Structure 1
Amino acid sequence: MADKPALRPFAQYLLGFLMVLQRSTGGNTTFFLGEVSNQAWPMYFPIIYAIKEPLAFHILTIIALLFAAWKIKEPFWRAPYHRLKTWVQNHFVEFALLGFIAFYWFMSVRANLNIGVRHLMPVIPLTYILVGNQISKWLNNAKRFNFRTLAVGALFIWYIFGTLWNFPHFLSYFNELAGGPYGGWRYATDSNLDWGQDLKRLADFVEEKQIPSIAVDYFGGGSPRYYLGDKYEPWWSAKGKPRGWFAISATFRQSAWGEPIKNLATKPEDNYSWLRPHEPVATIGHSIFVYYLP
């Protein structure tokens, strides 16, 4: 498929879908709601989806579901098979999308990999299509410009404003249910919040404050040595409390402070207990906490 330009996007989508399924069979030590485990939580993806997607879109989804339910004029138990068959014949595209979304959600909830809302990406665009379709029908069902138009317009403005307000920290976006990006670290880390994206901003902070040396425990694929040069000193919990400036990625801090569950083995020297009495003096882009330790 990849050698045919018209089919290449579908090939890439299918490849990504298969890669996600393969990756989900493994496991990963993860922080979630104050706990740390290398096994999955059944409610991980439902909760992460609820707090990572814009709240305005969730409201639009509820409106779409209510409108779809309202269109069912008769009780479910009256000729359900015939009615379902007729609906599938008349709405096969919607049926196919719903079926795939349901299957993917089922597999995600049962999978042993909980590291980010990104693993729901194969179905998020399809969800937007279905919700948009129902909202369009809901608006067209109105006879003239009315409350429905105003409500949807207000939700779109909220959606756009919330996105722009979070610029440029889109990866660390959390909606209002989680307290926004400033409160996201309390719920989940890893690629939901922290993928090492703020390393250069940390270097800018060090330069601005004229910090001569800083101990860093960094989570990500960047090179602290490249950005910080000789000012960088690699650090981890077992080395004990450093003197002076210290920066730690949210993923490492929350994983160290979370409560181990499901027989997860941890070492006392790795739990950053010496850091708990201190408050960060700065937060770099929502994902790196900076301390000054006397």
Structure 2
Amino acid sequence: MKIFAKRKLDFYAGGICLVFFLLGFFTVNGFKWNNLKESGLAITGDEVTYISSGYYSLKTGRNFFNPEHPPLVKSIASLPLLFLNPALPAFTNKPFIKQSFPYTDYSFAHEGEIKNNQWNYGRLFLFNDFNNPDLIVFWARTMILLFNAGLLGLVYISIAKIWDKRSALIGLVMAAILPLSLAYGSLVILDFTSSLLSILALVWFAIFLRRLTDKKGGLASFILSAIFISLAILAKTTSLLMLPIMLTVGLVYLLANVQTRALWWNYLWSLIMMSVIICLTIGAVYWPNVRQMSGADISEQVGHFLPAASPASLQPIYAPWARTTVLFLSQGNSFVRGLGEFVLNIFLNVKRADLSEQHKIYFMGHIYGRLGAPIYYYPVLILTKLPVTVLTLMLMAKILFFKNWRKLKQLDLEFILLLSYALIFLAIAMYFNLQMGLRYVLPVILIAVFLVGKILSDNWAFPLAGRYKISVKKATVFLLIIAGAVNLFIYPDFLSYYNLLAGGTANGYKIAVDSSYDWGGQDLKKMAVWLNENQVQTIYVDLFTNAQPAYYLGDAYRPYKTGIDPWPMSGSYVAISAQNYQTDLASNSLAKQKYFTMDNLVDRVGQSIFIFKTP
């Protein structure tokens, strides 16, 4: 009992991480483990390529599929698959031909491998007769969820080290109970993992700077800072944004605190050594994924993504330099070739940010294309997809911050560095046009909740309403309990969650869809159950998904494109996903078939699939 009394906040934090893991586990995997085909959530859009390309790269040592994303998350999710040992498609030299389900030819053209035909490969790998896609997804998700729960614990420990355990616990509770966290932290995607690793990198870099100026050594903080920076970058390339922000804030901090030339040289030498550690870590993580790639393989890959034969006017300005750098590194050993693949990854992400790469975006009744959605896209999603209780805590913290900022201790190096990164990240996300869901600004949200935890903790006894004896402590505890309890009513629709300001989850699709609501058919398994329960023999399906609907729906499945394909016969069931419904509605593709309105909705599967019946 003495140990518990002394470290009770640590035990609470461990319990929160465990609850996060269990709630996420049962959300995505369900309870019918003897029949995973009808249990939990179906594989979502990006998971098709992340799981398949991650296992392919680890197994073959070739990084041709999905090279535009670094390998860390994909490799971690694929570790249990090495023991499960699912079959990989055999590569042949025949011309690439897109296959359809059910597959009769379990081979894949080398041409499709070189050209990164990742979606067709992913479907062929997952949904062939030799593999069990639901078992593969089960183990991949469980592994990444376990890793994310561990990262939450590390963030708590790190925040407690720079501030105090109460600040860290408040932030941890908010981060763990966010529907966004439970949704994205349970899937094999990059955003949640990279966000937590970015927080760890920023915190430990600040600790390193402080110990450097205090002349207290700091070898451990130096090494941890370098490792977490490396891992954050290896989780998602956008984490590179940390580096100029770290250097700028660090420079300002040193100018204000360093008086001797020796400390400046020490700092410069530390940055050089940190860069070496980062390069070594990146090369080491890439190595298993490129160990069987030759220089000729990489040259062929570069020839596809950055062709030298293209007219100069059609090439990005960086293309010649990128091509030369990657080809130079490809001549080294497998470790150096891994660095070459990382450089290629950076330029492929720059290419994705080009306007010509923009997807269609549905937002509040309109379709946006090359120029992206309005600048208020992310602010609206933040206000409508975060629980009202969490928004209230954020508002409380903002008021307290500006009311008592002279008395607060929060304006320290760590606070400023985290806040600077969050604000700059949000500003860049609002400016650029990759607006396909709130997950893109997840680092901003998770940093915000830990900053809120710090402000609330520093004002713990502050009276909010003295007449009623309501302090910050009482209000915070009450709102966090309410937020946690609300999750019991949201379960398992954390991905589609919208708060009351948006009219609730059922109406959230009217604001934004894609990964904020309907991410590639997560309710496909539930639809198979619905067919069986309602004894539906045939259904016309218009789903936004990278999975194979026929695998789950069987002979009842009929592919259908609303507004294009002929009207089904009278009495036919038609299933339309929220993503397709809203994009077709906003672009007037449904004008020919106006019957598909919510007034004629027959049923709803989960939140993301609408069922109609033709008259």
Query: Equivalent residue for 1:13?
Result: 232
Instruction: Give per-residue Cα distances to partners, 1:175-209, cap 9 Å, x unaligned.
Output: 11111110101111111000110000011001100
Partner of 1:227: 552
Within 5 Å, which residues of 2 pair with 1:28-177?
28-38=359-369, 39-40=371-372, 41-72=374-405, 91-141=412-462, 146-148=469-471, 149-177=473-501
Structure 2 partner of 1:245: 573
Q: Residues 122, 170 of structure 1: CA spacing in aligned structure 2 closer, same or farther, 3 A cutoff?
A: same
> 2:512 aligned with 1:191, yes or no?
no
Distance in 1 (CA, whole Å) between partners of 2:423 and 2:596 is 45
Task: Report deviation, 1:8.
Answer: 5.3
Task: Output the CA distance in 1 between the equivalents of 2:384 and 2:514.
Answer: 15
* Matched residue SS, 1:183: helix
2: CA distance between counterparts of 1:230 and 1:12? 45
DSSP 3-state at the match of 1:121: helix
**Any stretches of 5+ residues in structure 1 without a counterpart?**
75-86, 261-267
CA distance in 1, matches of 2:232, 2:603: 40
Query: Using CA pairs below 8 Å that are at least 6 residues apart, which structure has the higher relative contact order?
Result: 1
- Within 1, Cα distance between the matches of 2:595 and 2:482? 37
Once the two structures are TM-superposed, the CA of residue 241 in structure 1 deviates from its matched residue by 2.0
Report the counterpart of residue 541 of structure 2 in structure 1.
Answer: 216
Secondary structure at 2:601's aligned position in 1? coil
1:182·1:286 contact (CA, 8 Å) conserved in 2?
A: yes
Q: Is the 8 A contact 1:240 1:274 kept in 2?
A: no
Preserved CA contact (<8 Å) 2:423 2:444: no
Check 1:227–1:68 CA distance in 2 against 1; reply closer, same or farther (3 A cut).
same
Q: Measure, in 2, the Cα distance between the counterparts of 1:197 and 1:185.
A: 14
User: What SS does structure 1 have at the residue aligned with 2:529?
Assistant: helix
Gaps of 5+ in 2: 1-71, 73-222, 242-348
**How many correspondences in the alignment?**
268
Structure whose alpha-carbon radius of gyration is higher: 2
Deviates more, 1:152-161 or 1:99-108: 152-161
Deviations 1:205-253 (A, max 9, x none): 0110000100001112221110011110000021132131010100001
Q: Deviations over 1:37-95 (max 9, x none)?
A: 11322110110111111111111111101111111459xxxxxxxxxxxx89x611110
- The structural deviation recorded for 1:139 is 1.2
3-state DSSP of counterpart to 1:12:
helix
Q: Give the C-alpha shift of residue 150 in structure 1.
A: 2.8
How high is the TM-score relative to the length of structure 2? Answer: 0.41
Range with greater deviation from structure 2 (199-208 or 11-20): 11-20
Code of the residue aligned with 1:185 in structure 2: it is Y
1:254 counterpart (568, 576, 582):
582
120 and 24 in structure 1: CA distance in 2 versus 1, 3 angstrom threshold: farther
Q: What is the Cα deviation at residue 146 of structure 1?
A: 3.9
Q: Percent identity?
A: 28
**Residue 155 to residue 24, structure 1, CA distance change in 2 (3 Å):** farther
Do the aligned partners of 2:495 and 2:517 also contact (CA within 8 Å) in 1? yes
Match of 1:233, SS state, is: strand
Structure 1 residues 27 and 154, CA, compared in 2 at 3 Å: closer, same or farther?
same
State the match for 1:82 in structure 2. Answer: none
RMSD: 2.5
Deviations 1:95-134 (A, max 9, x none): 0011001110110000111110010112222111100111
Deviation at 1:154, TM superposition (A): 2.2
Aligned AA (1:271): L
Q: Which secondary structure state, in structure 2, belongs to the residue aligned with residue 104 of structure 1?
A: helix
**Letter of the 1:159 counterpart:** A
- Secondary structure in 2 aligned to 1:248? strand
Match of 1:273 among 582, 592, 596: 592
